[in-house]
């Protein structure tokens, strides 16, 4: 069967579109799986001890445990997909999301897909939307999302994302950072 040049171009475009769709859906599935992990952790941390199991002599100890669990609740572990090892922890405040890499993790900021995917595509798209809103007067220019990468030499130690503004963005930032860091580790180990 012979195809015209135009038909071949259409078939190639269709194939590229299908590959793009598959990659997009794989990323979405990975993000959904990470959301499930975060929800499982949240449910696990919110479990409680029955009052009948507590004794009055342990009250100071209990309050220390409550304080400790509160600080742990502020921390969202980011795990590597293949083995579940914690590679970073995310700390969320009303002003910013801080993603602090585990001390054992050494990832160069130039390792793909950090810049191309996480910074340019995810944070960059949020920044473009915020800039458009700032131009139309919906938000102040100071409220535009921005990031700071703290390094030790060329290795990333912390990613700070300021002015995320919308709670919906927090999950996306944490999930895509986790996905990016996992891929970066895979690229280093190739």
Domains in the chain: how many in total? Answer: 2
Q: What are phi and psi of 35, to 5 degrees?
A: -60, -40
Mean pLDDT of residues grouped by 10 in the chain (190 residues)?
Answer: 84 84 76 72 57 42 40 74 86 91 90 92 94 92 92 92 90 91 85
Same domain, 97 and 185: yes
> Which residues make Cβ contacts (< 8 Å) with residue 177, sequence separation at least 6?
78, 88, 90, 99, 118, 159
Which residue range(s) make up the domain with 4?
A: 1-45
Name which of 139, 161, 141, 135 is nearest 149 in CA terms.
161
Q: Tell me whether residue 70 is in a domain.
A: no
* pTM tops 0.85: no
Kindly state whether residues 40 and 86 are assigned to the same domain.
Answer: no
pLDDT on residue 130: 94
């Amino acid at each position: 069967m012979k195809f015209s040049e135009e038909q071949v171009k259409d078939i190639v475009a269709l194939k590229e579109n299908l590959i793009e769709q598959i990659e997009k859906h794989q990323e979405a599935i990975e993000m959904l799986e990470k959301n499930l992990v975060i929800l499982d952790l949240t449910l696990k941390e919110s479990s409680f001890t029955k009052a009948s199991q507590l004794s009055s002599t342990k009250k100071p100890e209990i309050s220390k445990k409550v304080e400790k669990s509160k600080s742990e609740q502020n921390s969202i572990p980011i795990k590597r997909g293949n083995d579940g090892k914690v590679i970073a922890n995310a700390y969320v405040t009303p002003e910013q999301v801080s993603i602090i890499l585990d001390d054992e993790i050494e990832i160069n900021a130039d390792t793909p897909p950090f810049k191309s995917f996480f910074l340019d595509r995810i944070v960059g798209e949020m920044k473009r939307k915020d800039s458009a809103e700032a131009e139309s007067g919906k938000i102040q220019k100071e409220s535009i999302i921005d990031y700071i990468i703290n390094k030790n030499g060329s290795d990333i130690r912390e990613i700070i994302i300021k002015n995320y503004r919308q709670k919906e963005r927090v999950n996306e930032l944490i999930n895509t950072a986790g996905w990016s860091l996992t891929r970066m580790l895979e690229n280093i180990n190739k």
